[in-house]
């Protein structure tokens, strides 16, 4: 801790000396061009009609459709069982491996996905793509549920236990070890390394800079904007948050889960409550607003390049908010106390759905309030648009939103610090000093992100996080058949009650009768 504080104090002194040169402008000047170049590379477009469509979006969309069909609509029939898994206490005893309960893992995963992107990110998408973007944000979440199911199941199945009792898991592990098991080491090793590098970049950008950037901006907004005492000094706020993040992550996933299990329910209750107030206050406009969202979602005259432009903007934001396909949340699920990997796949369904609902709530509040008509469409508004929507009903809401935004940002910063750290140690090896090195780098970028322009942060955020989907989804396609086999064994062992399940699930008991007799109800994590 002393070393960490020394580094941060050194950073503070350097920042104070650089203040005379306007550090905010300096950071934006030198970092923004790099972020824009990275975004242009990853979002390489093709032209469809009058729209420019990034190829990588089709990559994730195709995966969502494929896995939804491959698992016969598990995002629907698996929800009840997901609730049952989360509601039961953590498995106890020597035969139950892991560090946290299913609920704690869910809270940690939610803290990583339910962040500023669910507020500012959604607002930006609607300001650029119009109301129709809200439809595709939620549609992307529904398709992403099946992807999350595979990710979480594989994360538990291929996790590794360290000598100190901690757990390391996630895409880098199931890519490396899963593909090696398939005699594809030549593919698994480089893909796992690529994913780890991208995950570190995603942690620093999407899990870090965008969160602190928008929370700092909201705080600046309510304290007077250009006349605020924070104007030109947002890095000070970033420095304070950096210290808080380090204190929360110093003891690993157990300390993180303790924080997130308190933060996530509190901030969701506060934000959802305010959102419902806005919606109810505009009750008479709800039918028109819903009709407008659906119409604009399929309108060839929609903004931002027509219907394709609206779809791409919505799906791009959906991926950034729920992170389906990126594999990030799987790192948290790998730590669960369970010997049934598939059980956490079901829990992941809830995470993705709840994230989509929260994004939809933000969208409804903006559209229902009518504030969008007063905003220049096509202009990045970020957190101001969401704040204005809520303020139209609740005059003091910008102050409440500031608290919510800071809580959202803090929880996401904490979770992604863990994700990035696990990707870092996968490359350089486990060890306290190696963990500390990453923690320092991560916290420094919290300060950097607090002083950057939002447009530049958004570009590199989306680019790095979505790029994680390339190596991850390749592995998902290869390893999905074994998860499907494990799923059949799992449902044969558990009572799903009177829930709608596909025919191939109903016949699973007969298919696995021999395996059950041999004690192979579900493949145990290694």
pLDDT tens digits for 326-374?
888 899 888 888 888 898 899 989 888 888 888 888 888 787 776 665 5
Please name every residue paired with 500 in a beta bridge, in sequence order, or none if there are none: none
Give the residue carrying structure tokens 């757990």. 167
CA-based torsion, 106, 108, 111, 112: positive or negative = negative
Residues 6+ apart with CB under 8 A from 308: 48, 49, 51, 53
Confidence of residue 303 (pLDDT cuts 50, 70, 90): low
pTM over 0.85: no
Q: Quote the crossing angle between the two packed helices 397-428 and 234-249, to the nearest 10°.
A: 60
Q: Please report the pLDDT score of residue 413 as a whole number.
A: 85
Mean pLDDT, all residues of the chain: 75
Q: Convert the pLDDT of each residue in 209-257 to its tens digit.
A: 777 777 777 677 777 666 666 666 677 777 888 888 888 777 667 777 7
In percent, the amount of the chain with pLDDT more than 90 equals: 12
Confidence of residue 151 (pLDDT cuts 50, 70, 90): very high
Q: Please report the pLDDT score of residue 195 as a whole number.
A: 94
> Residue 80: is its pLDDT beyond 70?
yes
Q: Convert the pLDDT of each residue in 86-116 to its tens digit.
A: 877 655 544 467 777 778 888 878 777 776 6
Residue 249 to residue 255: CA distance in whole angstroms: 7
Q: Please report the pLDDT score of residue 525 as a whole number.
A: 41
Confidence of residue 514 (pLDDT cuts 50, 70, 90): very low
> Residue 509: is its pLDDT beyond 60?
no
Give the residue carrying structure tokens 């007063």. 374
Of 134, 125, 181, 142, the residue nearest 158 (C-alpha): 181
* 191 Cα distance to chain centroid: 21
Residue 410 to residue 109: CA distance in whole angstroms: 13
The mean pLDDT of 313-331, rounded to a whole number, is: 80
> Residue 11: is its pLDDT beyond 60?
no
With H, G, I as helix, E, B as strand and everything else as coil, classify residue 391.
helix
Q: Quote the crossing angle between the two packed helices 432-450 and 234-249, to the nearest 10°.
A: 150
Of 363, 262, 280, the residue nearest 321 (C-alpha): 363
């Amino acid at each position: 801790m002393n070393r960490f504080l020394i580094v941060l104090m050194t950073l503070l002194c350097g920042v104070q000396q650089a203040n005379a040169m306007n550090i905010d402008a300096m950071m934006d000047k030198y970092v923004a061009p790099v972020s824009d170049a990275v975004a242009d590379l990853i979002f390489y477009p093709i032209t469809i009609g009058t729209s420019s469509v990034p190829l990588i979006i089709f990559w994730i969309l195709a995966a969502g459709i494929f896995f939804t069909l491959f698992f016969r609509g598990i995002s629907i029939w698996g929800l009840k069982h997901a609730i049952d898994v989360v509601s039961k206490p953590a498995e106890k005893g020597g035969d139950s491996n892991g560090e946290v309960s299913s609920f704690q893992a869910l809270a940690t995963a939610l803290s990583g996905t339910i962040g500023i992107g669910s507020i500012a990110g959604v607002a930006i998408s609607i300001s650029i793509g119009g109301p129709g973007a809200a439809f595709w944000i939620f549609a992307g979440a529904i398709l992403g549920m099946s992807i999350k199911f595979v990710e979480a199941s594989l994360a538990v199945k291929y996790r590794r236990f360290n000598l100190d009792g901690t757990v390391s898991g996630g895409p880098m592990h199931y890519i490396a070890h899963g593909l090696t098991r398939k005699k594809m080491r030549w593919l698994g090793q480089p893909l796992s390394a690529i994913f780890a590098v991208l995950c570190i970049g995603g942690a620093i950008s999407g899990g870090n800079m965008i969160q602190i950037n928008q929370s700092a901006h909201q705080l600046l907004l309510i304290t007077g904007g250009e006349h605020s005492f924070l104007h030109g000094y947002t890095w000070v706020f970033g420095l304070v948050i950096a210290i808080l993040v380090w204190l929360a992550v110093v003891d690993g996933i157990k300390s993180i889960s303790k924080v997130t299990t308190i933060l996530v329910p509190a901030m969701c209750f506060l934000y959802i409550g305010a959102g419902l107030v806005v919606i109810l206050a505009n009750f008479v406009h709800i039918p028109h607003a819903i009709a407008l969202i659906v119409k604009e979602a399929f309108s060839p005259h929609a903004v931002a390049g027509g219907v394709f432009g609206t779809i791409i903007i919505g799906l791009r934001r959906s991926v950034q908010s729920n992170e389906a396909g990126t594999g990030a949340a799987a790192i948290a699920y790998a730590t669960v106390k369970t010997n049934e990997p598939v059980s956490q796949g079901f829990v992941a369904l809830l995470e993705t759905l709840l994230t989509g609902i929260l994004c939809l709530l933000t969208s409804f509040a903006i559209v229902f309030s009518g504030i969008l008509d007063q905003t220049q469409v096509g202009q990045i508004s970020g957190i101001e648009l969401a704040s204005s929507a809520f303020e139209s009903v609740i005059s003091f809401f910008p102050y409440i939103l500031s608290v919510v935004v800071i809580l959202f940002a803090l929880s996401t910063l904490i979770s992604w610090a863990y994700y990035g750290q696990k990707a870092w140690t996968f490359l350089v090896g486990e060890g306290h000093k190696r963990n500390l090195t990453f923690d320092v780098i991560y916290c420094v970028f919290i300060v950097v992100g607090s002083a950057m322009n939002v447009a530049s942060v958004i570009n590199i955020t989306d680019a790095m996080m979505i790029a994680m989907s390339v190596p991850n989804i390749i592995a998902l396609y290869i390893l999905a058949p074994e998860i499907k086999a494990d799923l059949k064994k799992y449902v044969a062992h558990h009572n799903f009650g009177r829930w709608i399940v596909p025919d191939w699930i109903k016949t699973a008991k007969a298919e696995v009768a021999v395996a059950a007799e041999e004690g192979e109800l579900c493949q145990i994590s290694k």
